[in-house]
Structure 1
Amino acid sequence: MTEHSSWQIQRRLLQYLNDGQFYSGSWLGKELQLSRTAIANHMQQLQRLGLDIFSVKGKGYRLATPLQLLDREAIQQWQSDDSAPIEVLSITDSTNLQLMQRLQQGEVLPKGLVLVAEAQTAGRGRHGRLWYSPFAASLSFSMAWQLEQGIQAAMGLSLVVGVAVAEMLEADYQLSPQLKWPNDIYLAGKKLAGILIELSGQSDGRCQLVIGIGINVQLPAGQAARQIDQPWADLTSVLGTLDRNQLVARLQSRCAGQLRRFELLGFAPFQAEFNRRHLFANQAVQLMQGQQLVRGICHGVDAQGNLVIENQGKKQLFHGGELSLRAEN
């Protein structure tokens, strides 16, 4: 059985289970013309992807909570006519990796093209850390972009994307997100989303970008507690039911608009927009720079997107690289 046909079967299984009722393996097998063993194997595959499926002897299978699956046609209904395409995958290693491979193979991707997936098996954050993205419980979103001015023009880009995500959450969902330099979005002091930007190009020539955004939508609490080593938030906990297809279209629109603004004006107009949302504004922080620990008061970012930390009356600037910012204990 091919991966595509396996996913088609699993999608049909989820459509049955999505009403919250129990369905027996024998009944599902008859509907899909499969054996009970085959149904059990598909259920196990879905559980390994992070789906919370109850299995009760004598009753069958039931989803712990209803799902909304990503659907390209449903997403298109929320897009404007001039939007770039959005592609939907079921399961992939990493949406960022998929777009980077296509660029490296010479494919010309439309500016603003978005790839989303129901689940990632090798999602990544900064410094190669694993990004937890269970099936249909988060948004795994990657956008292709180009900067004509080269890699140097990308200074501050992750902060711009953070501002775009925050603005979407404020305008469309009436939330009050916070931004943590250089690439995280928080809600009530807990991590909600992360950004990973990967570059391909020359320092003085056209630069290809893949902008990855992972947003927690409805994480299974028990599994998330075992997988995530810091306080986390998700959208469903504060908003209730959420249309993930609409979220994809809104995110693409907001990011594309702010990226076009960034191309024209650089980072300077975003400085105040980032700083007023900064998680550690005017707080005592510690910054790990390799083996060096820097302590001081965080004053947000400057007009180039550098982090500004004041220590004993002197302000130091930090940018990118292997840096880790934390509140001072």
Structure 2
Amino acid sequence: MSKASLQLQRQLLAVLADGCFHSGQKLAEQFGVSRTAIANYIQELEQVGLDVYKVKGKGYGLARPLLLLDAQRIKQLQPSVAAPVLVQHITDSTNLQLMQMLHNTTPLLKGSVVVAEAQTAGRGRRGRPWYSPYGSNLYFSYYWRLEQGVQAAMGLSLVAGCALCSLLRREYQVTAQVKWPNDIYIDGRKIAGVLVELAGQADAACNVIIGIGLNIALPETALQHIDQPYADLMHSSGKSVDRNKLIVQLQNELTMALNTFELQGFKPFQQIFNQYDVFAKRLVNISGTAAATGICLGVDENGAILLEQDGKVQAFYGGELTLRAGA
């Protein structure tokens, strides 16, 4: 899609965002295009997960009002010292976009963020697709540079998960919990995932990208795309959610957490994780490159999950491991 078409699509969304119905003919006249062009733009938005009602005699209307991401408002909400936030309309993946920016000649500032209204190639752990409908969630990628190198990154996904849980509990009064090694749950249902990607050498500075997908207000069609129980922040908190404000809050929360992590490692987050652990004292199964069943005792000071088996405690580290509730 051309830059002009993207701009018109964005302007069309700004009109539809009030949740009211708008005549296709009037929209065509307002934007100086044909009714067919308006219908095509609507169809493209539906293809990226936006719920649009089409009613004869009334026109087009969104299933719910939509507060669009606004780069100017985000900047106004940020502290003066904060790193920039790049707002994209529709992108492949915010993590991929941030990774590409690392190859630019201008160095990225620590704490820089990329967000988008929708992703066409969102990814979770092990390359699994991440359902990314338009305007429904937070698609957020954060940049950091670890001077200590790749080896110092152990436990980083847990640090990000703890930071997100703390923010959700404090600002939205929900009982968010962490599932080792990279998921966030509310009332036993997944609400967010963390994907950490590293670029660097073991003995040199390391670039870190922390991708976070957070369900905000999923459309009814989500049931067709998500194969596990899920939660979203709007329904869990009973509040409307301003994603622009949430982006600034999350950027600040991660910056504070990573500054602590750089100075002290994972140890300060051990107690936080164990307080938020969704599987605390429960029977769990580990599968993948290792297999085990035992009682979950939280994590050690390095972020390894601890399982008690026949009176013995064994530590398991991340990588290609999956943790699930036991039978």
Which bracket does the TM-score occupy, shorter chain normalised?
Answer: over 0.9
Q: In the alignment, residue 210 of structure 1 is paired with which amino acid?
A: I
Q: In the alignment, residue 171 of structure 1 is paired with which amino acid?
A: R
Q: In the alignment, residue 123 of structure 1 is paired with which amino acid?
A: G
1:154 aligned partner: 153
Deviations 1:180-230 (A, max 9, x none): 001111111110111000000010100001111110001002x11111111
Q: In the alignment, residue 321 of structure 1 is paired with which amino acid?
A: G
Q: In the alignment, residue 295 of structure 1 is paired with which amino acid?
A: T
> For 2:115 and 2:259, how far apart are their aligned partners in 1?
21
Q: In the alignment, residue 19 of structure 1 is paired with which amino acid?
A: D
1:28 aligned partner: 27
Q: In the alignment, residue 228 of structure 1 is paired with which amino acid?
A: I
Q: In the alignment, residue 212 of structure 1 is paired with which amino acid?
A: G
Any conservation in 1 of the 2:137–2:216 contact (CA below 8 Å)? yes
1:312 aligned partner: 310
> For 1:76 and 1:128, how far apart are their aligned partners in 2?
32
**1:13 is paired with a residue of what secondary structure?**
helix
Of 242-251 and 22-31, the range deviating more from structure 2: 22-31
Of 207-216 and 169-178, the range deviating more from structure 2: 169-178
> For 1:289 and 1:300, how far apart are their aligned partners in 2?
19
2:230 aligned partner: 232
> For 1:156 and 1:195, how far apart are their aligned partners in 2?
12
Kindly state the Cα deviation for residue 107 of structure 1 after the two structures are TM-superposed: 4.5
Kindly state the Cα deviation for residue 151 of structure 1 after the two structures are TM-superposed: 0.3
1:289 aligned partner: 288
> For 2:81 and 2:66, how far apart are their aligned partners in 1?
29
**2:247 is paired with a residue of what secondary structure?**
helix
What is the TM-score with the length of structure 1 in the denominator? 0.96
Kindly state the Cα deviation for residue 58 of structure 1 after the two structures are TM-superposed: 2.5
> For 1:327 and 1:6, how far apart are their aligned partners in 2?
48
2:298 aligned partner: 300
1:178 aligned partner: 177
**1:77 is paired with a residue of what secondary structure?**
helix
What is the TM-score with the length of structure 2 in the denominator? 0.97
2:126 aligned partner: 127
> For 2:106 and 2:142, how far apart are their aligned partners in 1?
14
The answer as to 2:251 corresponding to 1:258 is: no
2:188 aligned partner: 189
> For 1:287 and 1:25, how far apart are their aligned partners in 2?
54
Q: In the alignment, residue 25 of structure 2 is paired with which amino acid?
A: S
CA RMSD across the alignment: 1.2
Kindly state the Cα deviation for residue 241 of structure 1 after the two structures are TM-superposed: 1.2
Count matched residues: 326
Q: In the alignment, residue 33 of structure 1 is paired with which amino acid?
A: G
Kindly state the Cα deviation for residue 24 of structure 1 after the two structures are TM-superposed: 1.8
Kindly state the Cα deviation for residue 289 of structure 1 after the two structures are TM-superposed: 2.1
The answer as to 2:88 corresponding to 1:89 is: yes
> For 1:107 and 1:77, how far apart are their aligned partners in 2?
24
Kindly state the Cα deviation for residue 68 of structure 1 after the two structures are TM-superposed: 0.7
Deviations 1:23-59 (A, max 9, x none): 2211110000000110110000010010000112232
Kindly state the Cα deviation for residue 105 of structure 1 after the two structures are TM-superposed: 4.8
Deviations 1:235-259 (A, max 9, x none): 1113331111000000000000010
Kindly state the Cα deviation for residue 171 of structure 1 after the two structures are TM-superposed: 1.7
> For 1:19 and 1:160, how far apart are their aligned partners in 2?
37
**2:291 is paired with a residue of what secondary structure?**
strand
Q: In the alignment, residue 214 of structure 1 is paired with which amino acid?
A: G
Any conservation in 1 of the 2:19–2:66 contact (CA below 8 Å)? no
Q: In the alignment, residue 299 of structure 1 is paired with which amino acid?
A: L
The answer as to 2:256 corresponding to 1:270 is: no
Kindly state the Cα deviation for residue 7 of structure 1 after the two structures are TM-superposed: 2.0
Structure 2 unaligned blocks of 5 or more: none
Q: In the alignment, residue 311 of structure 2 is paired with which amino acid?
A: G
Kindly state the Cα deviation for residue 293 of structure 1 after the two structures are TM-superposed: 3.3
Of 27-36 and 167-176, the range deviating more from structure 2: 167-176
Kindly state the Cα deviation for residue 18 of structure 1 after the two structures are TM-superposed: 2.2
> For 2:217 and 2:202, how far apart are their aligned partners in 1?
40
Of 171-180 and 110-119, the range deviating more from structure 2: 171-180
Kindly state the Cα deviation for residue 106 of structure 1 after the two structures are TM-superposed: 5.2
Kindly state the Cα deviation for residue 19 of structure 1 after the two structures are TM-superposed: 2.4
Q: Which runs of 4+ in 1 moved over 3 A?
A: 104-107
> For 2:231 and 2:218, how far apart are their aligned partners in 1?
9
Kindly state the Cα deviation for residue 20 of structure 1 after the two structures are TM-superposed: 2.5
Q: In the alignment, residue 150 of structure 2 is paired with which amino acid?
A: I
**2:102 is paired with a residue of what secondary structure?**
helix
Q: In the alignment, residue 318 of structure 1 is paired with which amino acid?
A: F
> For 2:103 and 2:12, how far apart are their aligned partners in 1?
36
